[in-house]
Amino acid sequence: MRRALLIYNLFSGFRRHRRHQEIDAAVQELRRAGVDAESVASQGPAQAGAQAQEAIAAGYDTVFACGGDGTVHEVLQGMVGQDATLALLPLGTANALAADLNIPRDPALAIRQQLKYRPRTIAAGLIEHCRDSSPKLKRFFTVMAGVGPDALLVYTLSAEAKARWGVAAYVGNAFWEYLRYRHAPFSVSLTDCAGRTEVLESAQIMAVRIHNFGGPLKRFARDADLSRNDLRVIVFRGGVRFSYPAYLLSALFGLQVRIPGVELIDANEIMCRALPGREDRSIYCEADGECLWQLPIRLSIVPNAFKLLMP
């Protein structure tokens, strides 16, 4: 690491009033290590990726995404296919990727830890909007992508609630949404790593890339790992009224129990479409906690997609 740019989100996480002090502490830590470091605020939603590309064109070999998983997601869009390395400064409400990489929340400690890491070229998840009547949209992801109630949760959760209550806002909103949610099944065409394709109905799928979400969710998707070149997919067959809460509870308590209707599958591609005659149902998808589009969507994996500073 010779030259680093820190792209920070002023509105991410709890300690917004201390954001400039946190960024300055990280910059100074890098400079003490002999790294030419500068910082810049994100110019807004969907702009951080372009800022990352501009930084790489200007000669920066490392770009730090400073915020939560949403900020990392935005910066990632400009890092795929580039020779520069993505690094993290966890300043958000939820910092799942940072937890998976064992990066502490303290800015100075986070920099010191990553100065011991090395760039590794890894795969990225890819989610694409496949509606014929509009241009195909795509986003890369690092943590997970989901279709169904988890995306609805992200869609209905306000930024103000996240900033004020943090993870508790997710829990409270999840409880409320599941009390009132009537599951809307959709068609899933899933191609596993051996090339076999299965078509099924589901009301929730999650394509996971990391094994440690931080806090109690360290066994959310058993055997998921950033070093893999596939997606670890949690498939909820049929309804989710009971199976989804049961799966979350088993993950929270680290229980190795089989939940009826829940299966973990290694896959290279997943197509999700509305069932015939149910195209009017609003079924959302999300990636790295960012609500994106309604069906139809395609999930896949892109090997050797970007460089990440890792243990």
Q: How many CB atoms lie within 10 A of CB 118?
A: 12
For the purposes of burial, counting CB atoms within 10 Å of the CB of 21, is it exposed (0-12), middle (13-18) or buried (19 or more)? exposed
- What is d(CA 239, CA 174) in angstroms, rounded to the nearest whole number? 16
Evaluate whether 207 touches 231 at the Cβ level (below 8 Å).
Answer: yes
**For the segment 43-79, what is each residue's pLDDT rounded down to a tens digit?**
877 889 999 999 999 999 999 999 999 999 999 999 9
Mean pLDDT of the chain: 86
Q: Name the pLDDT band for 242 (thresholds 50, 70, 90).
A: confident
**For the segment 168-219, what is each residue's pLDDT rounded down to a tens digit?**
555 555 555 565 656 678 999 999 988 999 999 888 899 999 988 887 667 7
pLDDT score for 249: 73
Evaluate whether 97 touches 69 at the Cβ level (below 8 Å).
Answer: yes
Residue 164 reports pLDDT greater than 60 = no
- What is d(CA 173, CA 299) in angstroms, rounded to the nearest whole number? 26
How many residues are present in the chain? Answer: 311
pLDDT score for 161: 47
| Closest alpha carbon to 264 in 294, 227, 225, 296 | 225
- What is d(CA 146, CA 156) in angstroms, rounded to the nearest whole number? 15
Q: Please state whether beta strands 137-141 and 36-41 pair in parallel, antiparallel, or not at all (unpaired).
A: unpaired
Output the CA–CA distances (angstroms, integers) from residue 225 to 143, 241, 279, in the order listed: 10, 28, 34
